[in-house]
């Protein structure tokens, strides 16, 4: 009976506990994360009676959680993937709604802008229409800025959400670590508290929605969590410890958000974050959103540039070239090394041209100094205050430090081009709208033909390029170039870029050398040099000439108003008086040693022909050298005398000096010496320079040469008074001489002095330009000098009768801006149509024919960015003048070109402005659409996972009801067993009574 009773009792106990479990299931039916529990019973060990085993009832083995590890993992996986789509869908919809809406988007404003431009073209003089167009320009830029602002708002919201998600991840990770701690004391997973396990699974599930994770569970049921794809660096939960992650976000859309592990300690970047909300947000922020902002900026920049190009190439109502219709400016972003604190400074751009992309400013508290590093040089700035608060001006920026800085705190400033954020209308009133063409064509009233011309002007129109070295580039570098050049009569050695100022190309050539320098324009106008025998060799052998141009020698070697564009070119030598010199100080120049020429012919020789050289515009007389007497050999003395004979006209006086300088080291004491053929007595016994000087001096009356001691332990031989500049012949009694110099005749130098400029010109003799070596006779290296502004690119040829090598020194001092070039687009140019299908282009200001070319009626004439086309071919004798389009407010050429831009393919892929903008919106829309499709697919997967998981772990009331009935009945049956046992017991009691 005791057996029956105990069996019954054990069963009652089991079923009571089973019923409790069912009740608990029902009670927690709606508890989030609750896993259904089940009571598992087991039979007690039977007792052995004789040969039989009699059962002893049942007992509760354990209460299990209905849990499937695989299904849980599956659920987490699909949850991560599903949640990663949400940010892209939400934000792409928001962006599409902002940008694609006909009200808030740009499409309507663009239409209005172009439409108002079109309307203005119907009455360009109307002030009212001008104001309307200006207003629609204003509304267009304000729309652009507002879209830019909305995009910035999206960036800010995405950044904010990213930070929130990162915080949530950190919180969940620390909760997981805490739960791990709670469970750590229990060695077996099976015996873990199911409530803790449920909490753990719920946390993991929630975490998987935030970011994709990899979960490792150990035998005790403790979990380690790492961010999927990040490897060990991405471990966020390890046993009872959690590790924070952080995110660096930037308001600037083009800078990517960066997730890193352990941001407060040894920060490790985690670039491969994927899945979950965080993965979705990061990919949205760093890809789709960034691209949209960049694309929009590119669109705005491209649009503004195209409009500005037209507008600044047009004429406004005040007869001025148009300003920038749309102005944009860079913005500055600051990042402090102390990321947690508020930004300690602000900065504005004061000079765009001088900015650098990035700049570091570091505060040194002890020195009260800032270190500015711009990648080029380090600069120190003293602070006005002890805390660093104040302003620094550097690299085109004004940085205003507003908060106290900590020592060595670094602020990184980035200058970013954000056209969409900063665009504004660059003109203030309607009259500044450049509605008219900048240039116009005047048809000569005497024209026989009735052809009309249309012109367009584009200063950036591509031009043919000259070959060789760009001398203009010297401006930004060394400013001087030394080069050994092989002469070439066809190919240019280099070219002088338009705008080069203070240019010179100087040759180092000996007397008798036949090298020249030729200058020629791209239009075949020969400025300087000798006309080649076959000009067509130049034109056909060189690709740098403009198409169809003819050779012109009209301006060859001409000066003054006869010169090409009245350009002052010196072929010879030029030394302008330095502006540093005072009015009373003379302009001085010292030559090298002059050439000593000895006339060994039977008669006198004109060593320098009459008129071969000019000095300061005065043609110099012939330098006649007799065939006998002391002047049969030229010397500095005779040259000075020759020059001084004409100094009244030239304004240049010359002095001559001959000096031989010998150091003590050079001297060969013990040797003899002759000067000008006279033996110096006792020269061979001199043992010091001083003795030598005395012995030379003793005979100076005979030799005409005296000597004195220099300051550097040297001796200087020079002419005695009255003999200045004469040649000094040094000889020896037995080689070598005591001076240690070669036995030779030494010539002197010329010292030229003038009140203003010194300018030698090598002239044409008998119609042919002379050689630069003519100047070598005077000890002067000649070349080409252009002091003023080179008006257009000039090819520089170094030519010779037979190819030779020559040393060249080229200099360019500075470069003038385009506004100083001649002729300016506004300067009238005249086109004359000549017989033989030729046309000349004349600069009317200087009456210079700058080009003569063949005319092809099918092709436009293009000159310096001006494109001229004719409706039908002009007749011979017709002429046209292209001039500034002044006083023509009724002209709509400019505004019409702006209006026509609406349908023109100004963007990559032959898209017009409207299409390019729509594409940005569509790109975003397409990304959102793809995300939406993926979301729908992933939702199915997720729902399945949820259902599978809920099938395994969820509570079903019907099942619980059935269990309830089952256990209740079992309980009642067990109770009956107890009752039976009681009755049996009673029966026995009664039987024994």
Partner 1 sequence: MKVSTSQMFLSTSSQLAKQSGRINELQAKISTGEKLLSPSEEPQRAALINQLESTASQISTYQKNLDKVDGRLSIEEAILTSVDNIMGRIRDLSLAAASGTYSSGDKAIVVQEMRGLRDELLSLANSQDSGSNYIFAGTKVTTTPYQENAAGEVTYFGDSSSAVVSTGPNSNVKLNRPGTEVFSKVTDGGVDYNFFDVIDGMADALMGTAKQETVSNSYATSATALNSGSAFNLNVSVGKTSPTNTTINVTTDTPEGVVTAINASSTGLKAKLAKEDPGSDVVRVYIEGPGGEEGIFTISSTPNMGFSNNDRIQKGIGRVSDSKNRATDALVGIGVSMSVVNEKKDVNEERDLAIKKLISSEKDLDYALAVTELSSEIIALEALQSSFAKISQMSLFDYLR
Segment 444 to 463, residues that bind partner 1, using CB under 8 A = 448
First to last CA, the chain: 18
DSSP 990: H
How near is the Cβ of 35 to partner 1 at its closest, in Å?
10
Q: Which of 801, 890, 940, 987 binds partner 1 (CB under 8 A)?
A: 890
DSSP letters along 22-90, please? HHHHHHTTT-TT---EEEEEEEPPPEEETTEEE---EEEEEEEE---HHHHHHHHHHHHHHHHHHHHHH
How near is the Cβ of 601 to partner 1 at its closest, in Å?
51
126 forms part of the interface with partner 1 (CB under 8 A): yes
How near is the Cβ of 100 to partner 1 at its closest, in Å?
3
- The smaller minimum CB distance to partner 1, of residues 697 and 954, is found at 954
Helix spans in 628-683 (H): 636-644, 647-650
934 forms part of the interface with partner 1 (CB under 8 A): no
Beta strands in 173-329 (DSSP E): 213-217, 223-227, 235-238, 241-242, 245-248, 258-261, 268-269, 314-315, 326-327
Binding letters toward partner 1, positions 954-993, x by CB under 8 A = xxxxxx-xx-xx----------------------------
Which residues, 6 or more positions from 163, have their beta carbon under 8 angstroms from its beta carbon? Answer: 247, 249
Pairing of strands 480-486, 805-815: antiparallel
442 forms part of the interface with partner 1 (CB under 8 A): yes
Q: Which of 889, 931, 970, 974 binds partner 1 (CB under 8 A)?
A: 889
Q: Rounded CA gap, 421 and 147, in Å?
A: 9
892 forms part of the interface with partner 1 (CB under 8 A): yes
Q: Which of 3, 68, 111, 764 binds partner 1 (CB under 8 A)?
A: 111
- The smaller minimum CB distance to partner 1, of residues 109 and 505, is found at 109
- The smaller minimum CB distance to partner 1, of residues 24 and 763, is found at 24
If phi > 0 it is left, if psi is from -120 to 50 it is alpha, else beta; for residue 339 that is alpha
- The smaller minimum CB distance to partner 1, of residues 291 and 809, is found at 291
How near is the Cβ of 79 to partner 1 at its closest, in Å?
15
941 forms part of the interface with partner 1 (CB under 8 A): no
926 forms part of the interface with partner 1 (CB under 8 A): yes
443 forms part of the interface with partner 1 (CB under 8 A): yes
Cβ burial of 703 (10 Å; 0-12, 13-18, 19+) is buried
Q: Are 832 and 840 spatial neighbours (Cβ–Cβ below 8 Å)?
A: yes
Task: State the greatest distance between any 2 C-alpha atoms of the chain, in Å, as a whole number.
Answer: 184
119 forms part of the interface with partner 1 (CB under 8 A): yes
Q: Which of 621, 644, 714, 902 binds partner 1 (CB under 8 A)?
A: 902
- Of the CA atoms within 13 Å of residue 245, those in its CB half-sphere come to 31
What separation in angstroms does the CA of 299 have from each of 282, 333, 916?
Answer: 24, 22, 7
- The smaller minimum CB distance to partner 1, of residues 109 and 405, is found at 109
Q: Rounded CA gap, 675 and 717, in Å?
A: 10
Segment 469 to 508, residues that bind partner 1, using CB under 8 A = none
Q: Are 223 and 73 spatial neighbours (Cβ–Cβ below 8 Å)?
A: no
251 forms part of the interface with partner 1 (CB under 8 A): no
Segment 35 to 94, residues that bind partner 1, using CB under 8 A = 36, 92-94
114 forms part of the interface with partner 1 (CB under 8 A): yes
Binding letters toward partner 1, positions 847-886, x by CB under 8 A = ----------------------------x---------x-
937 forms part of the interface with partner 1 (CB under 8 A): no
Segment 798 to 827, residues that bind partner 1, using CB under 8 A = none
How near is the Cβ of 870 to partner 1 at its closest, in Å?
15
Q: Pick the piece of the chain touching partner 1 (CB under 8 A) from 106-114, 304-312, 347-355, 970-978.
A: 106-114
The phi and psi torsions of 900 (rounded to 5 degrees) equal: -70, -20
> Which of these, 33, 28, 38, 79, lies nearest to 200 by C-alpha position?
33
Segment 11 to 30, residues that bind partner 1, using CB under 8 A = 29-30
122 forms part of the interface with partner 1 (CB under 8 A): yes
> Which of these, 615, 627, 626, 618, lies nearest to 778 by C-alpha position?
615
Q: Please give the structure tokens belonging to residue 595.
A: 């050439």
What separation in angstroms does the CA of 872 have from each of 263, 448, 452, 835?
Answer: 75, 13, 7, 16
How near is the Cβ of 924 to partner 1 at its closest, in Å?
7
> Does the bond joining 206 to the residue before it have cis omega, within 30 degrees of 0?
no
How near is the Cβ of 986 to partner 1 at its closest, in Å?
33
- The smaller minimum CB distance to partner 1, of residues 3 and 97, is found at 97
Cβ burial of 484 (10 Å; 0-12, 13-18, 19+) is exposed
How near is the Cβ of 420 to partner 1 at its closest, in Å?
19
How near is the Cβ of 896 to partner 1 at its closest, in Å?
7
Helix (H) or strand (E) run with residue 382 in it: strand 378-382
Q: Which of 82, 921, 938, 945 binds partner 1 (CB under 8 A)?
A: 921
Cβ burial of 910 (10 Å; 0-12, 13-18, 19+) is exposed
What separation in angstroms does the CA of 988 have from each of 1, 639, 675, 981, 983?
Answer: 10, 164, 168, 10, 8
Q: Pick the piece of the chain touching partner 1 (CB under 8 A) from 231-239, 509-517, 662-670, 899-907.
A: 899-907
- The smaller minimum CB distance to partner 1, of residues 709 and 900, is found at 900
How near is the Cβ of 970 to partner 1 at its closest, in Å?
15
Residues forming a β-bridge with 443: 880
- The smaller minimum CB distance to partner 1, of residues 470 and 915, is found at 915
Q: Rounded CA gap, 203 and 200, in Å?
A: 5
Which residues, 6 or more positions from 415, have their beta carbon under 8 angstroms from its beta carbon? Answer: 330, 331, 332, 349, 355, 356, 357, 358, 359, 397
517 forms part of the interface with partner 1 (CB under 8 A): no
Residues forming a β-bridge with 228: none
Which residues, 6 or more positions from 751, have their beta carbon under 8 angstroms from its beta carbon? Answer: 588, 589, 590, 591, 654, 655, 656, 657
- The smaller minimum CB distance to partner 1, of residues 110 and 225, is found at 110
Q: Pick the piece of the chain touching partner 1 (CB under 8 A) from 259-267, 323-331, 828-836, 939-947.
A: 939-947
C-alpha dihedral over 693, 698, 703, 709, to 10 degrees?
20
194 forms part of the interface with partner 1 (CB under 8 A): no
Segment 85 to 104, residues that bind partner 1, using CB under 8 A = 92-94, 96-97, 100-102
Q: Pick the piece of the chain touching partner 1 (CB under 8 A) from 78-86, 172-180, 199-207, 896-904.
A: 896-904
- The smaller minimum CB distance to partner 1, of residues 777 and 896, is found at 896
Sign of the C-alpha dihedral, residues 258, 259, 262, 263?
positive
- The smaller minimum CB distance to partner 1, of residues 535 and 912, is found at 912
- The smaller minimum CB distance to partner 1, of residues 440 and 864, is found at 440
- The smaller minimum CB distance to partner 1, of residues 479 and 959, is found at 959
DSSP 432: G
Q: Which of 253, 436, 563, 730 binds partner 1 (CB under 8 A)?
A: 436
How near is the Cβ of 948 to partner 1 at its closest, in Å?
8
Segment 525 to 584, residues that bind partner 1, using CB under 8 A = none
Could you write out the three-class secondary structure of 304-326?
HHHHHHHHHCEECCCCCECCCCE
* Size of residue set near partner 1 by CB under 8 A: 74
Residues in the chain: 993
How near is the Cβ of 568 to partner 1 at its closest, in Å?
36
What separation in angstroms does the CA of 720 have from each of 594, 691, 752?
Answer: 19, 19, 20
- The smaller minimum CB distance to partner 1, of residues 757 and 950, is found at 950
How near is the Cβ of 14 to partner 1 at its closest, in Å?
21
291 forms part of the interface with partner 1 (CB under 8 A): no
């Amino acid at each position: 009976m005791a057996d029956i009773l105990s069996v019954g009792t054990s069963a009652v106990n089991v079923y009571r506990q089973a019923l409790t479990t069912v009740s608990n299931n029902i009670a927690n039916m709606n508890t989030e994360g609750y896993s259904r529990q089940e009571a598992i019973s087991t039979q007690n060990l039977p007792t052995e009676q004789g040969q039989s085993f009699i059962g002893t009832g049942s007992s509760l083995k354990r209460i299990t959680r209905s849990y499937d590890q695989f299904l849980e993992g599956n659920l987490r996986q699909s949850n991560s993937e599903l949640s990663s789509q949400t940010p892209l869908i939400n934000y792409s919809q928001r962006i599409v709604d902002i940008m694609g809406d006909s009200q808030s988007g740009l499409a309507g404003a663009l239409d209005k802008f172009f439409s108002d431009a079109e309307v203005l073209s119907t009455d360009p003089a109307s002030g009212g229409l001008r104001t309307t167009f200006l207003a629609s320009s204003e509304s267009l830029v304000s729309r652009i800025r507002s879209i830019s602002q909305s995009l910035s708002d999206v960036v800010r919201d995405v950044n904010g959400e990213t930070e929130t998600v990162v915080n949530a991840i950190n919180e969940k990770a620390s909760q997981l670590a805490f739960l791990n701690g709670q469970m750590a004391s229990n060695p077996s997973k099976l015996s873990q508290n199911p409530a803790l396990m449920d909490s753990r699974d719920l946390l993991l599930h929630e975490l998987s929605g935030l970011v994709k994770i990899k979960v490792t569970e150990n035998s005790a049921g403790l979990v380690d969590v790492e961010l999927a794809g990040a490897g060990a660096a991405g471990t966020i939960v390890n046993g009872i410890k959690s590790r924070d992650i952080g995110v660096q976000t930037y308001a600037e859309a083009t800078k990517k958000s960066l997730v890193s592990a352990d941001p407060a300690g040894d920060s490790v970047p985690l670039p491969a974050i994927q899945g979950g909300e965080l993965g979705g947000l990061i990919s949205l922020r760093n890809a789709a959103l960034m691209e949209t902002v960049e694309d929009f900026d590119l669109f705005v920049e491209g649009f503004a540039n195209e409009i500005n190009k037209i507008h600044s190439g047009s004429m406004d109502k005040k007869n001025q070239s148009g300003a920038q219709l749309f102005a944009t400016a860079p913005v500055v972003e600051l990042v402090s090394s102390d990321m947690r604190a508020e930004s300690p400074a602000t900065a504005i751009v004061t000079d765009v041209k001088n900015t650098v992309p990035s700049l570091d400013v570091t505060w040194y508290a002890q020195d009260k100094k800032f270190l500015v590093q711009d990648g080029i040089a380090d600069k120190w700035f003293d602070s006005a205050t002890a805390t660093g608060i104040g302003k620094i001006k550097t690299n085109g920026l004004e940085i205003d430090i507003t908060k106290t800085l900590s020592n060595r705190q670094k602020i990184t400033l980035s200058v970013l081009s954000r056209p969409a954020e900063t665009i504004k209308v660059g003109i203030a009133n309607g009259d500044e709208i450049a509605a008219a063409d900048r240039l116009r064509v005047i048809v000569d009233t005497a024209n026989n033909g009735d052809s009309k011309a249309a012109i367009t002007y584009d200063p950036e129109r591509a031009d043919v390029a000259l070959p060789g070295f760009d001398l203009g580039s010297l401006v930004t570098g060394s400013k001087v170039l030394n080069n050994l050049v092989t002469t070439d009569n066809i190919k240019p050695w280099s070219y002088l870029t338009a705008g080069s100022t203070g240019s010179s190309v100087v040759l180092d050539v000996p007397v008798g050398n036949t090298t020249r320098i030729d200058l020629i324009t791209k239009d075949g106008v020969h400025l300087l040099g000798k006309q080649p025998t076959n000009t067509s060799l130049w034109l056909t052998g060189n690709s740098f000439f403009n198409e169809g141009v003819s050779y012109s020698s009209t301006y060859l070697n001409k000066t003054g108003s006869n010169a090409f564009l009245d350009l002052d070119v010196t072929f010879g030598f030029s030394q302008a008086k330095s502006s540093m010199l005072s009015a009373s100080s003379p302009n001085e120049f010292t030559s090298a040693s002059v050439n000593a020429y000895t006339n060994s012919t039977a008669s006198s020789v004109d060593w320098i022909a009459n008129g071969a050289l000019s000095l300061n515009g005065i043609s110099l007389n012939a330098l006649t050298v007799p065939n006998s007497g002391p002047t049969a050999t030229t010397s500095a003395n005779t040259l000075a005398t020759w020059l001084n004979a004409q100094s009244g006209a030239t304004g240049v006086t010359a002095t001559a000096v001959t000096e031989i300088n010998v150091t003590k080291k050079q001297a060969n004491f013990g040797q003899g010496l002759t000067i000008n053929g006279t033996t110096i007595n006792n020269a061979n016994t001199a043992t010091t320079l001083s003795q030598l000087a005395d012995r030379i001096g003793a005979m100076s009356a005979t030799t005409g040469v005296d000597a004195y001691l220099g300051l550097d332990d040297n001796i200087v031989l020079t002419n005695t008074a009255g003999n200045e500049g004469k040649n000094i012949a040094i000889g020896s009694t037995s080689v070598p001489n005591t001076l240690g110099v070669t036995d030779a005749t030494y010539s002197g130098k010329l010292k030229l002095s003038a009140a203003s400029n010194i300018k030698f010109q090598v002239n044409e003799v008998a119609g042919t330009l002379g050689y630069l070596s003519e100047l070598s006779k005077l000890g002067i290296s000649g070349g080409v000098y252009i002091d003023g502004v080179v008006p257009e690119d000039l090819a520089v040829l170094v030519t010779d009768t037979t190819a030779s090598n020559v040393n060249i020194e080229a200099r360019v001092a500075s470069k003038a801006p385009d506004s100083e070039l001649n002729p300016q687009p506004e300067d009238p140019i005249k086109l004359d149509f000549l017989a033989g299908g030729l046309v000349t282009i004349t600069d009317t200001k200087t009456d210079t024919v700058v080009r003569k070319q063949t005319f092809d009626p099918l092709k436009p004439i293009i000159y310096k960015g001006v494109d001229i086309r004719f409706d039908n071919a002009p007749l011979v004798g017709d002429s046209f003048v292209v001039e500034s389009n002044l006083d023509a407010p009724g002209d709509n050429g400019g505004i019409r070109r702006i209006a026509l831009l609406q349908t023109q393919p100004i963007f990559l892929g032959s898209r017009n402005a409207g299409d390019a903008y729509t594409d940005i919106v569509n790109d975003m829309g397409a990304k959102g659409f793809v995300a939406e499709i993926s979301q729908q697919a992933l939702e199915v997967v997720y729902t399945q996972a949820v259902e599978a998981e809920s099938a395994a772990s969820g509570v079903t009331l019907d099942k619980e009801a059935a269990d309830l009935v089952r256990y209740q009945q079992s309980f009642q049956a067990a109770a009956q067993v107890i009752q039976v046992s009681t009755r049996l017991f009673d029966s026995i009691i009664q039987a024994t009574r």
